[in-house]
C-alpha cells in the first residue's frame, strides 16, 4: 500500500469530531491569531491552535487536561480569518471525552455537577425547594399568565450567597418601577448553557425542554434574565427547540424602564467606577452600551474604561464550565482584571454576570487591601444610589 493510501489510524475519532459539530477545524491554516488573543496566554502556555490541529489529525497527541481550559470567551472566533469556530471544535472534543467518561484534573467534578443539574435543576448540589429562599422577605409572586414579564432568576442568583444580593437588588428595582412580574420558583431549572459547553448535550437538552415546558405551561411571553449565560442560551440556543419568546437582559430592561419614565434615576454615586463587559453579554451578544448608559445617568459617578474593554474585554475565566473547575492561583484571569481596574484608579468594578462577580470576589481576597476595590453588579450600584438619595439630609 502506498503512503498516499495509508489509512489514518485516528480516522474514526476524526469522524466523531465532525459528527459532534467540530468539522470547522478543516478550515484552519495555523496562522496563530487565536493564540495571540487567547487570555490563557497571559498566564500560562496554552494553544487553542494546537487543539484545532489535533482535531484535524484525530487527537494523536492530545493533552487531556488542555481540552478543558477554554472558557469559550469568544476572542479567537472573532479574530479568525478562516471561520474555524474554535469553540465548536473544542466543545466537540469535550463531547467525545464526556461520552467516554474522561474527566481528568480540573474537570473531575463535572459528573457530579451533571447529576445535580438533572436531579435538582442546579449545579450547586442545592435542594430544589430552596430555590426561592433569596426572596423570602420580598413578597415576590409566582408567575401567572398575563403578568408583564417573567423574572428568570438563574442558579447562582438563587443559591450563591454573594449573588443572591443581586437578585434582591433586581427585585427591588422592578418593584420601584411598578413592574408586574413573577418567578417560576421550583419550576425553574438551570438554563444549561455551561454544561453544554462541557460536552454534556443530554443534560442540556433535558434542562432546555423542562424550562420551555414551564414557559408554555405558565403562558410566558417575555423573559427577563440577570445572567448573560441565560440570555445567550435563550436567545441563541433554545431556538433549536422552537422557542420563540422575547428575552431581555436586566441591563437592557433597566434602560427600557428609564426611557419610559417608569424608573427615575435621580440617585447619586460619587465614586470612580469601571465597567467589565461579560463575554456572553458583550462579545457574544453585542450588549455594550446599555450598562454604560445607565451608569452615566447617576450623579457624581466617574466612569472610566480599562485597557481591555468592549469587544476586547478580558474574560473572567468562568465560561465554558470553568466556573466549576479549579484554577491555580497565578492562572486566574480575575487577578489580571482587578489589576486593570486599579490601574485606572477605579474604586468599584461593576459587571452584570454571576460568574464574573464570583471570580472577581475570589481574586479580591488576594489584594493587599481588599477594601480598596469593591465588586458590584449593575443593579446593586443603581439601587444603592437611589436609596442613598432617599436618606440624604
Position 5 scores a pLDDT of: 46
What nine digits make up the cell of 63? 493533552
Most confident range (mean pLDDT) of 12-21, 94-103, 376-385 is 376-385
94 in a structural domain:
yes
Given 211, 230, 258, the domain boundary residue is: 258
Q: Are residues 138 and 252 in the same domain?
A: yes
What are the residues whose beta carbons fall under 8 Å from the beta carbon of 257, sequence distance 6 or more? Answer: 177, 179, 263
109 in a structural domain:
no
Q: Are residues 39 and 155 in the same domain?
A: no
Q: Are residues 315 and 386 in the same domain?
A: yes
Range of weakest confidence among 47-61, 188-202, 305-319, 346-360: 47-61
Position 2 scores a pLDDT of: 42
Position 6 scores a pLDDT of: 54
- The 10s digit of each residue's pLDDT in 119-165 is 999 999 999 999 999 999 999 999 999 999 999 999 999 999 999 99
List, as one string, the DSSP characters of 30-96: ---HHHHH-GGGGTS---HHHHHHHHHHTSTT--GGGGGT----SHHHHH-TT---HHHHHHHHHHH
2 in a structural domain:
no
* Contact between residue 113 and residue 195 where contact means Cβ atoms under 8 Å apart: yes
The C-alpha atoms of residue 356 and residue 177 are separated, in whole angstroms, by 27
pTM over 0.85, yes/no: yes
Residue 296 has pLDDT above 90, yes or no: yes
Q: Are residues 128 and 254 in the same domain?
A: yes
Q: Are residues 247 and 308 in the same domain?
A: no
In CATH, what number is assigned to the domain containing residue 208? 3.40.50
Q: Are residues 166 and 252 in the same domain?
A: yes
- The 10s digit of each residue's pLDDT in 110-122 is 999 999 999 999 9
Range of weakest confidence among 33-37, 99-103, 347-351: 99-103
Q: Are residues 250 and 272 in the same domain?
A: no
Which DSSP state fits 308?
S
The residue among 269, 259, 290 whose CA lies nearest residue 383 is: 269
Q: Are residues 184 and 59 in the same domain?
A: no
What are the residues whose beta carbons fall under 8 Å from the beta carbon of 3, sequence distance 6 or more? Answer: none
The C-alpha atoms of residue 392 and residue 337 are separated, in whole angstroms, by 33
* Contact between residue 26 and residue 56 where contact means Cβ atoms under 8 Å apart: yes
- The 10s digit of each residue's pLDDT in 201-255 is 999 999 999 999 999 999 999 999 999 999 999 999 999 998 989 999 999 999 9
Position 141 scores a pLDDT of: 97
Residue 57's pLDDT band, with cuts at 50, 70 and 90, is confident
Given 258, 275, 293, the domain boundary residue is: 258
Q: Where are the alpha helices (DSSP H) in 130-249?
A: 155-159, 161-176, 193-197, 201-218, 228-232
What are the residues whose beta carbons fall under 8 Å from the beta carbon of 105, sequence distance 6 or more? Answer: 64, 65, 68
Position 1 scores a pLDDT of: 37
Q: Residue 310 is part of which domain span?
A: 262-391
Q: How many residues would you count in the chain? A: 393
1 in a structural domain:
no
Q: Are residues 54 and 22 in the same domain?
A: yes
Per the structure, how many domains does the chain have? 3
What nine digits make up the cell of 178? 411598578
Q: Where are the alpha helices (DSSP H) in 297-371?
A: 333-343, 354-364
* Contact between residue 224 and residue 152 where contact means Cβ atoms under 8 Å apart: yes
336 in a structural domain:
yes
Q: Are residues 180 and 252 in the same domain?
A: yes
Given 102, 133, 161, the domain boundary residue is: 102
The residue among 247, 319, 238, 327 whose CA lies nearest residue 287 is: 247
Q: How far apart are the first and last CA of the chain?
A: 90
The residue among 22, 34, 31 whose CA lies nearest residue 79 is: 34
Q: Are residues 136 and 249 in the same domain?
A: yes
Cα radius of gyration rounded to whole Å, the chain: 22
The mean of the pLDDT values for the chain is 93
The C-alpha atoms of residue 317 and residue 279 are separated, in whole angstroms, by 10
The residue among 71, 83, 77, 84 whose CA lies nearest residue 44 is: 71
**φ, ψ for residue 291, nearest 5 deg:** -60, -45
115 in a structural domain:
no
Q: Are residues 292 and 364 in the same domain?
A: yes
Position 380 scores a pLDDT of: 98
What nine digits make up the cell of 25? 477545524
57 in a structural domain:
yes
Amino acid at each position: 500500500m502506498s503512503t498516499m493510501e495509508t489509512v489514518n489510524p485516528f480516522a474514526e475519532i476524526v469522524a466523531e469530531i465532525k459528527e459532534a459539530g467540530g468539522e470547522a477545524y478543516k478550515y484552519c491554516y495555523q496562522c496563530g491569531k487565536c493564540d495571540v488573543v487567547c487570555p490563557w496566554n497571559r498566564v500560562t502556555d496554552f494553544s487553542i491552535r494546537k487543539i484545532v490541529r489535533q482535531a484535524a489529525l484525530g487527537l494523536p497527541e492530545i493533552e487531556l487536561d488542555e481540552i478543558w481550559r477554554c472558557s469559550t470567551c469568544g476572542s479567537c472566533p472573532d479574530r479568525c480569518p478562516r471561520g474555524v469556530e474554535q469553540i465548536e471544535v473544542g466543545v466537540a472534543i469535550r463531547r467525545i471525552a464526556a461520552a467516554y467518561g474522561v474527566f481528568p484534573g480540573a474537570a473531575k467534578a463535572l459528573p457530579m455537577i451533571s447529576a445535580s443539574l438533572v436531579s435538582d435543576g442546579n449545579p450547586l448540589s442545592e435542594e430544589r425547594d430552596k430555590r426561592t429562599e433569596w426572596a423570602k422577605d420580598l413578597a415576590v409572586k409566582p408567575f401567572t399568565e398575563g403578568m408583564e414579564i417573567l423574572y428568570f432568576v438563574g442558579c447562582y442568583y438563587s443559591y450563591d450567597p454573594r449573588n443572591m444580593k443581586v437578585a434582591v437588588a433586581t427585585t427591588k428595582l422592578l418593584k420601584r418601577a411598578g413592574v408586574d412580574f413573577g418567578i417560576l420558583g421550583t419550576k425553574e431549572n438551570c438554563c444549561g448553557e455551561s454544561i453544554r459547553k462541557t460536552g454534556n448535550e443530554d443534560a442540556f437538552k433535558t434542562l432546555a425542554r423542562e424550562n420551555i415546558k414551564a414557559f408554555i405551561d405558565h403562558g410566558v411571553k417575555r423573559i427577563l434574565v440577570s445572567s448573560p449565560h441565560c440570555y445567550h442560551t435563550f436567545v441563541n440556543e433554545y431556538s433549536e427547540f422552537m422557542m420563540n419568546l422575547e428575552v431581555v437582559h436586566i441591563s437592557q430592561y433597566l434602560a427600557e424602564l428609564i426611557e419610559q419614565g417608569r424608573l427615575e434615576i435621580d440617585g447619586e454615586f460619587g465614586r470612580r467606577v469601571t465597567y467589565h463587559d461579560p463575554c456572553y453579554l458583550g462579545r457574544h451578544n453585542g450588549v455594550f452600551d446599555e450598562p454604560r448608559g445607565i451608569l452615566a445617568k447617576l450623579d457624581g459617578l466617574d466612569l472610566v474604561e480599562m485597557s481591555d474593554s468592549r469587544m476586547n474585554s478580558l474574560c473572567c475565566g468562568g465560561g465554558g464550565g470553568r466556573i466549576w473547575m479549579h484554577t491555580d492561583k497565578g492562572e486566574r484571569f480575575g487577578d489580571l482584571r482587578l489589576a486593570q481596574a486599579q490601574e485606572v484608579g477605579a474604586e468599584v468594578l461593576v459587571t452584570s454576570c454571576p460568574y464574573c462577580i464570583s471570580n472577581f470576589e475570589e481574586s479580591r481576597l488576594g489584594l493587599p487591601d481588599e477594601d480598596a476595590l469593591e465588586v458590584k453588579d449593575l443593579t446593586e450600584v443603581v439601587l444603592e444610589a437611589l436609596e442613598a438619595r432617599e436618606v440624604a439630609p
